[in-house]
Every structure is written in structure tokens, then in C-alpha cells.
Amino acid sequence: MTTKPPPAVEPSPPDTQEKIAYESVAAVDTVEPNDRHRLGYHVWRWLTTREGTLDDAVRQSGARLTGPADLAVKSIRAYLSSKGITAS
């Protein structure tokens, strides 16, 4: 019995909000990779709805950060600014 190989995964285009959100948290140190994914999701959610502030999104994510949340927000905000997105 043979099986077919899985289909190739295409990376998302670099200008999508999903890609920008997950790349913005790549430099944030977390306890586990899943914490970074959770943080990326909350940043994406904030980018799409703009409800609350970026600080709120980081706090609501519940991601276990290895450093202060203020530094994580500063890092994310700097990345978003480099992409032309203003973060309040």
C-alpha cells in the first residue's frame, strides 16, 4: 500500500496582515514557541479590529514572556512602524 506525499505548503505573501503580525513577535522571547504563536494571533486580531491598544492585545494574549511586557510591546511597535503601521 502506498500513500501520496503531502501537498507543498506555500508561504503567505509578505504583505499580508497575518505575516506582519507573526513576524512582529518573532523577536519576543517567550517560555515556549506556542506562547509566541498565541501572541502573534492577538497582534493579528488587534491589527484587523483595532479594538483597544497594542498593550491590551499583549496582555490579553496570556503569553508567558521571559522579559517585561513593556519591552515586548516596544519591539512589536517598532516592527509595525517599519512596515508603515501606526500602533497606539
In a domain, 8, yes or no: no
Q: How far apart are CA 35 and CA 33, in angstroms?
A: 5
In a domain, 2, yes or no: no
In a domain, 68, yes or no: yes
HSE-up (13 A, CA, CB side) for residue 74 = 5
In a domain, 71, yes or no: yes
Q: How many domains does the chain have?
A: 1
Do the Cβ atoms of 88 and 54 come closer than 8 Å?
Answer: yes
State the residue range of the domain holding 47: 21-82
Do the Cβ atoms of 20 and 85 come closer than 8 Å?
Answer: yes
In a domain, 70, yes or no: yes
In a domain, 31, yes or no: yes
Q: What is the pTM assigned to this prediction?
A: 0.86
Q: What is the pLDDT along the chain (88 residues), one digit of tens a residue?
A: 678 988 898 888 989 999 999 999 999 999 999 999 999 999 999 999 999 999 999 999 999 999 999 999 999 999 999 999 987 6
In a domain, 4, yes or no: no
Residues in the chain: 88
In a domain, 11, yes or no: no
Torsions phi, psi of 65, nearest 5? Answer: -90, 150
